[in-house]
Amino acid sequence: MHGYQRSEEWGWHGNHFTYQSVHTIGRDRRCLYRTQKAKGHRRPLSKSVLKIMNRTSIVSALLLVAVLGSRAVGSSDTAVKHFKTASEYEEATGDGSNVYIVKYYAPWCGHCKRLAPVWEDLASALKGEENVVIASVDCTNKGLRPICDKNNVKGFPTIKSVFGGESKEVYKGSRALDSMKKFAQSQKLLWFAES
């Protein structure tokens, strides 16, 4: 998938001042506007050109904020429970009041980076559901490394259900949202039907 790019060019070219703004979205390249002023006039750009330049800057800034804001890692409004310490993990998962679907990951891992938005969507989809918590553990964190070792994490990302302080089942299915949602709901039914 190709992203969004914006480039601007301005300066004196021969005997004309030229300003050009090129926006590229995917493979679609568009020159939004181009202005030329004769070199002999030496007057500033017209108000209409400055308005266009300001609008383009505002649109670019809004697009950047939208892209970065939608996938901010560790933001306060996230539905994923991010464990910070081993004691926090053990206390939360050990009480038996919830089944935790935990993603053990490393921030540098490409597969983990691709899974992150789906993991956020999964947590959002299950946010209102009782007794299911979507969580994550950063295995590069020195304080959480013993948790990863205890749960026999050998590769990233590893997804497991945790109930009553014990790792119960490793998820080996598709990384599609529907498939992971079914796994989480089946784990809830499994452990809360038995207790």
pLDDT (tens digit, 9 = 90+) per residue, 22-54? 656 655 555 454 555 554 544 455 556 555 556
Same domain, 61 and 11: yes
For the chain, what is the domain count? 2
Beta bridge partners of 167: 162
Which of these three, 51, 70, 89, is where a domain ends?
Answer: 70
Same domain, 112 and 157: yes
Domain range for 23 is 4-70
Task: Dump the DSSP string for 108-132.
Answer: T-HHHHHHHHHHHHHHHHTTTSTTE
pLDDT value of position 45: 52
Q: Is residue 76 situated within a structural domain? A: no
Q: What is the CATH number of the domain that holds 153?
A: 3.40.30.10
pLDDT value of position 95: 87
Which of these three, 48, 70, 92, is where a domain ends?
Answer: 70
Q: Share the mean pLDDT of the chain.
A: 78
Same domain, 128 and 45: no
- Is 65's pLDDT higher than 60? no
Query: Burial of 113 by CB count in 10 Å (0-12 exposed, 13-18 middle, 19+ buried)?
Result: middle
Task: Check: pTM over 0.85? Answer yes or no.
Answer: no
Same domain, 21 and 90: no
pLDDT value of position 128: 86
Same domain, 96 and 181: yes
Rounded distance between C-alpha atoms, residue 59 and residue 22, angstroms: 13
Q: Is residue 112 situated within a structural domain? A: yes
pLDDT value of position 73: 42
Residue of 81 and 64 predicted with greater confidence: 81
Same domain, 142 and 183: yes
